Structure 1
Amino acid sequence: MKSVNIASNEVSQGSWRPSTKTRIILILLYIIAWIIFVGLSIEAGSFITNTVFILAKPEVVPHLWQQVDLRDLFQYGHGFFFTMVMIVSIVTVLKAILFYLIISILHNKKLSIEQPFTFIAQRFIVRIASLSLLIGLFSILGAKGAVWLSVQGVKLPDLQALHIGGADVWIFMSLALFVVAYIFKRGIELQNETDLTV
């Protein structure tokens, strides 16, 4: 009981420090976010490079490393090709931006464990939720376009290869994050009321 009182006094006085376990978890999350961000950036760059090769030298595309072959779509129609490339590029770039936001908030240590209900935390959650919603909407758009093109007889890779699969997961995540952001907003209001009464 005494240790609990000491811990609560340290938190209230602002001298509380995260435990070693918490620091290790935050460092691991930071490293994982960096790895995912770099991977998504490479993915976006390679997709754009593949697009340039299709425009310049379509016969080279099958020999590129882990590239999506959209030559049939290019032959079917340049407008359809550029639309699909734009959608896939937007989805990939939005994913990279999402992980960049995670990296930046972990790097700058803007989240406070002593006072988790802050405007910075709430704004961060809203941004992540908005990006997730956009990723989901563009993924749905790309998936619907891919299905329509397949019906027209265009040979396309599957949605996972195009990196636009799982739109429903992104939208569900965004809705859950919007709820969390609302809870944080309410927590900020209650925290401010408590500070005013003290």
Structure 2
Amino acid sequence: MSIKTDYILKALNVLSWIVFIGLCLDAGIFIVYTILTLMLEPAQAAKMWKEVDLTAVYNHSESYFVTLTSLIIIATILKALMFYVIIKFFYNKNFNLAKPFNETTKRFVLNMGYLSLGIAFFSSWGTGFVEGLTQKGVSMPDLRYMRLAGADVWWFMGIVLFVIAFIFKKGIELQNENELTV
């Protein structure tokens, strides 16, 4: 491996750690926000975090509030889990750039595809839920602040990752076949 490739991989590893920590904080903030809103008065909890004020949802229906925050939390945790898998892959000793077509890499790409589809599913569900609440006249913050925007991109990414995983599967078969014929 060249020196440039080593630096790029190290930079990607550091970026993955930064994003992972940020997503963990995001998920934790949403969990704390939900618990405090349910335990305290919603107006008190709204003062705690101005970015996403869901007091209108809470005032409309407590069960809608719990459903919406659960969808946000699940989508955010899946995103954090995705970056955890990336970090774990960097530290995996079976990862070899000289022979990229191996079971470890295929499993990694498949796991990323499954996580992408999970994020897409919960983001789509959350977006539909928010649109339904908006039609009922409930004042809602923007989807990007609730971390639910971009479900279509997650669907696309999941499908592309599955295609890449099956290309890796075929590459592994061809590589094994070549090793046997030599």
TM > 0.5 fold call:
yes
Choose from 36, 53, 61 the match for 2:36: 53
Helix, strand or coil: the match of 1:165? coil
Match of residue 70 from structure 2: 86
Specify the code of the residue in structure 1 equivalent to 2:94: K
Match of residue 68 from structure 1: 52
Match of residue 44 from structure 1: 27
Q: How does 1:1-198 map to 2 (within 5 A)?
A: 18-57=1-40, 58-65=42-49, 67-198=51-182
Distance in 1 between residues matched to 2:44 and 2:28, nearest whole Å:
17
Helix, strand or coil: the match of 2:145? helix
Contact 1:46 1:67 in 2 (8 A): no
Please report how far the alpha carbon of residue 64 of structure 1 lies from its aligned counterpart in structure 2 after TM superposition.
2.1
Specify the code of the residue in structure 2 equivalent to 1:89: I
Contact 1:53 1:61 in 2 (8 A): yes
Runs of 4+ in structure 1 off by over 4 angstroms are: none
Larger radius of gyration: 1
Specify the code of the residue in structure 1 equivalent to 2:54: L
Contact 2:123 2:151 in 1 (8 A): yes
Structure 1: give runs of 5+ residues left out of the alignment: 1-17
Q: TM-score, normalised by structure 2?
A: 0.96
Contact 2:116 2:157 in 1 (8 A): yes
Please report how far the alpha carbon of residue 59 of structure 1 lies from its aligned counterpart in structure 2 after TM superposition.
2.3
Specify the code of the residue in structure 2 equivalent to 1:150: T
Structure 2: give runs of 5+ residues left out of the alignment: none
Please report how far the alpha carbon of residue 54 of structure 1 lies from its aligned counterpart in structure 2 after TM superposition.
1.0
Q: Please identify, of 105-114 and 118-127, the stretch whose mean Cα deviation from structure 2 is larger.
A: 105-114
Contact 2:46 2:54 in 1 (8 A): no
- Give RMSD over aligned pairs: 1.1
Specify the code of the residue in structure 2 equivalent to 1:45: G
Specify the code of the residue in structure 2 equivalent to 1:56: M
Specify the code of the residue in structure 2 equivalent to 1:52: I
